[in-house]
């Protein structure tokens, strides 16, 4: 059975919106506010994560953002991201251009549940906070990895939305990455 892993960059106050600054959010571009040590360490964590993943699971907007950038890059991370299977939850995406992409058009919970049954490794969800919310709500998430950036934005979209009940997590790893904190939590299921 596959393991759904949420991997997100978040501000200190939990905002995930527009980390690069391309979406027009007035407080966007916050990932660029770290020193070289943080950037290099975050890139290393990202590479290790990609090398350990079986597939990526993305929402349409995040897929389109990444598909515009990664196919034209080179290096170990680009090679891995470009070659790995990618699954996109979308009712509107037709003819995806990034290689090894499959569009999941049905109900998100049903489609992701099937995907977990079909794959055996880590299925990493990146940059897709709107997709994360139903996955958390329906207990499909096995692990959450947060790269916490030392900036308080005071506004913006948060990773987690409202849920029908509490969702318990257990901290399994804390790592300093320059000025960043890399936190890993496992879901606790009763």
Angle of helix 129-137 versus helix 108-118 axis, rounded to 10: 80
- With a cut of 80, say whether residue 36 has pLDDT above it: no
In sequence order, what DSSP letters do the residues of 18-84 get, joined into one string?
Answer: -SSS-S--TT--GGGGS-HHHHHHHHHHHHHHHHHEEEEEEEHHHHHHHHTTGGG--SHHHHHHHHS
Whether the model pTM is above 0.85:
yes
Sketch out the chain's domains with CATH numbers: 17-175 (3.40.430.10)
The pLDDT tens digits for 137-154 are: 999 999 999 999 999 999
Q: What are phi and psi of 170, to 5 degrees?
A: -120, 125
Containing H/E element for 108? helix 108-118
Q: What rounded mean pLDDT belongs to the chain?
A: 93
- With a cut of 80, say whether residue 13 has pLDDT above it: yes
7: confidence class by pLDDT, cuts 50, 70, 90:
very high
- Of all residues in the chain, the percent with pLDDT exceeding 70 is 98
Sequence-distant (6+) residues with CB within 8 A of 33 are 149, 151
C-alpha span between 131 and 89 (Å, rounded): 8
- The pLDDT of 93-104, averaged and rounded, is 94
Residue 174 has a CB neighbour count (10 Å cut-off) of: 9
- With a cut of 80, say whether residue 34 has pLDDT above it: no
The reported pLDDT for the residue numbered 19 is 87
C-alpha span between 18 and 150 (Å, rounded): 15
- With a cut of 80, say whether residue 55 has pLDDT above it: yes
35: confidence class by pLDDT, cuts 50, 70, 90:
low
């Amino acid at each position: 059975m596959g393991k759904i892993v949420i991997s997100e960059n978040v501000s200190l106050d939990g905002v995930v919106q527009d980390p690069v600054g391309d979406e027009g959010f007035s407080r966007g571009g916050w990932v660029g506010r770290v020193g070289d040590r943080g950037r290099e360490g975050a890139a290393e964590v990202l590479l290790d994560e990609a090398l350990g993943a079986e597939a990526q699971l993305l929402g349409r907007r995040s897929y389109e953002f990444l598909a515009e950038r990664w196919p034209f890059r080179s290096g170990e991370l680009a090679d891995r991201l470009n070659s790995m299977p990618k699954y996109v939850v979308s009712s509107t995406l037709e003819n995806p251009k990034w290689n090894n992409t499959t569009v999941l058009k049905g109900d998100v919970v049903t489609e992701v549940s099937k995907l977990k049954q079909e794959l055996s490794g880590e299925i990493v969800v990146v940059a897709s906070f709107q997709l994360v919310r139903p996955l958390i709500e329906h207990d499909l998430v096995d692990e959450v990895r947060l790269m916490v950036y030392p900036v308080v934005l005071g506004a913006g979209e948060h990773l987690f939305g409202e849920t029908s009940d509490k969702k318990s997590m257990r901290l399994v790893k804390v790592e300093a990455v320059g000025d960043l904190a890399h936190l890993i939590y496992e879901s606790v299921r009763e």
